[in-house]
């Protein structure tokens, strides 16, 4: 039986992809690196250090590991400054309604994000109160597609993976959910999250009603 829901942050609760893009772009411009929205798309759901390694490889840049970490910290400072502008207006459409329904129906709710800034983003949105547990980039060392972050979140909820539905917008996030034995809801296009148990184009369509209809025999 399904008792809990675990949500990714960027691309599911809110769209911080734009702020990540602007922060990486600022760093790339300073470094004289090539960086555009196409490369940014490859950073979806990917950890900060993995992200800078992707950008570095794309630019064939040779940078020692310690300097690379400093540059990632610099990007994070730009990103953190931009988070100040996030407000309760910035939920993805449908998300706040879904979180409200889940609370009303007594489901357990957790976050399972790769971001080390997840708590700050939830605070800016005013969303902290919806979550019984937070799993973020500080919680585990192995990032998606490893299932560790979702297993961590489920344990915090006191639930088994098969009792939880995971909402994810990234290819590696769906891989992680499936590897851990979770029920996976994909948010986004077929080519990205078509391997989820059920896929929706947007959060607006991924209502509790739709998910309950799909997994009908798993809800009491």
Q: How far is CA 59 from CA 20, 62, 69, 100, in A?
A: 18, 9, 17, 44
Could you say which residues in the range 40-59 bind Mg ion, by CB under 5 A?
45
Q: Rounded to the nearest 5 degrees, what angle is found at the Cα of 70, between the Cα atoms of 68 and 75?
A: 95
Secondary structure of 79-135 as H, E, C letters? HHHHHCCCCHHHECCCHHHHHHHHHHCCCEEEEECCCCCHHHHHHHHCCHHHCCEEE
Site stretch for ligand B16 (CB under 6 A), options 8-16, 25-33, 52-60, 159-167: 8-16
Per CB under 6 A, 8 contacts ligand B16: yes
Residue 111: CB minimum distance to ligand B16, A: 8
Q: Which residue has the tokens 């597609």?
A: 145
Residue 20: CB minimum distance to ligand B16, A: 5
Sign of CA dihedral 199, 200, 202, 208: negative
Could you say which residues in the range 11-30 bind ligand B16, by CB under 6 A?
11, 20
Work out what residue 48 binds among ligand B16, Mg ion, none; the CB cut-off runs from 5 to 8 Å by kind. Answer: ligand B16
Residue 30: CB minimum distance to ligand B16, A: 17
Per CB under 5 A, 136 contacts Mg ion: no
Site stretch for ligand B16 (CB under 6 A), options 38-46, 56-64, 92-100, 184-192: 38-46
**C-beta of 76 vs 219, nearer to ligand B16:** 76
Residue 76: CB minimum distance to ligand B16, A: 6
Q: Is 158 left (phi over 0), alpha (psi -120 to 50) or beta?
A: left
CA gap 45, 172 in Å, rounded: 7
Cβ–Cβ < 8 Å for 184, 196: yes
- Site size toward ligand B16 (CB under 6 A) is 20
Interaction site with ligand B16 (CB under 6 A): 8-11, 20, 43-48, 51, 76, 113-117, 137, 170
């Amino acid at each position: 039986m399904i008792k809990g829901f675990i949500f990714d942050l960027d691309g599911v609760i809110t769209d911080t992809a734009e702020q990540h893009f602007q922060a990486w772009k600022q760093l790339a411009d300073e470094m004289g690196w090539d960086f555009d929205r196409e490369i940014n798309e490859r950073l979806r759901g990917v950890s900060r250090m993995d992200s800078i390694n992707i950008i570095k490889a794309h630019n064939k840049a040779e940078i020692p590991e310690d300097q690379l970490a400093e540059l990632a910290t610099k990007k994070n400072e730009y990103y953190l400054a931009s988070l100040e502008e996030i407000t309760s207006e910035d939920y993805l459409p449908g998300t706040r309604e879904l979180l409200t329904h889940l609370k009303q129906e007594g489901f357990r709710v957790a976050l399972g994000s790769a971001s080390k800034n997840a708590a700050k983003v939830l605070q800016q949105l005013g969303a902290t109160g919806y979550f019984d547990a937070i799993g973020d980039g500080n919680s585990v060392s192995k990032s998606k597609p490893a299932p560790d972050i979702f297993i961590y979140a489920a344990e915090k909820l006191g639930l088994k993976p098969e009792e939880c539905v995971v909402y994810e917008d990234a290819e590696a996030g769906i891989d992680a959910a499936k590897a851990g034995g979770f029920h996976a809801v994909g948010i986004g296009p077929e080519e990205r999250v078509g391997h989820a148990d059920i896929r929706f184009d947007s959060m607006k369509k991924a209502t509790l009603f739709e998910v309950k209809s799909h997994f009908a025999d798993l809800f009491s």
